[in-house]
Amino acid sequence: MFGIGPYLIYGTAFLNAAVIILTSYVFKAGILEDIWVWIFRITGGIVIALGILIWFIGAMRSGMDKNITENILKTDGIYSWVRNPMYTGCWFIIIGISFMWHNYWVLPVIIADWMILTVVLKNTEEKWLHDLYGEEYDAYKKRVNRLIPRVPKQ
């Protein structure tokens, strides 16, 4: 019913949690102090809020249900900013939570998360959407980023 999504999100959350536990509590490495604590926590809070907003708009306010029932590719609204707003929202929430530990080892994990999400999405949902919508989906992919929101090109 939900496809690869929950496994992908739980997997990236588990990766981030493992890095936080290992670096912050086991090896006690990468922990930042002083002003960096607040910089990471404020950034984390902003990224969490942004993630919740992106997920909410993509999941609850996009009108995606109608497109699914009518088998129409959704390319407007939040989907003109990012192709996978629900994954992006969850990923941003995970990043924001990770920032709360003010440990610089979360920074390379963000890139690892992005690479995992990219590889999995390319080999699952994007193939399925290409089979379903063909050239229309290929043109959409060229205009809109997979995971990082960008203001639509006019």
What is this structure's pTM?
A: 0.95
Contact criterion met (CB below 8 Å) for 106 and 98:
yes
**pLDDT value at residue 3:** 80
pLDDT (tens digit, 9 = 90+) per residue, 50-106?
999 999 999 999 999 899 999 999 999 999 999 999 999 999 999 999 999 999 999
Residue 27's φ and ψ, nearest 5 degrees, are -90, -15
Q: Are 58 and 126 in contact (CB under 8 A)?
A: no
Alpha-carbon distance 107 to 105, whole Å?
5
* Res. 1 pLDDT band, cuts 50 70 90: low
Dihedral, CA atoms, 4, 8, 9, 12, nearest 10 degrees?
A: 180
Secondary structure (H, E, C), 45-111: HHHHHHHHHHHHHHHHCCCHHHHHHCCCCCCCHHHHCCCCHHHHHHHHHHHHHHHCCCECCHHHHHH
Plot region of 148 (φ>0 → left; ψ -120 to 50 → alpha; else → beta): beta
Decide: 12 and 116 in contact? Cβ < 8 Å: yes
**Each residue of 127-136: pLDDT tens digit?**
999 999 999 9
Do the beta carbons of residue 86 and residue 2 sit within 8 Å? no
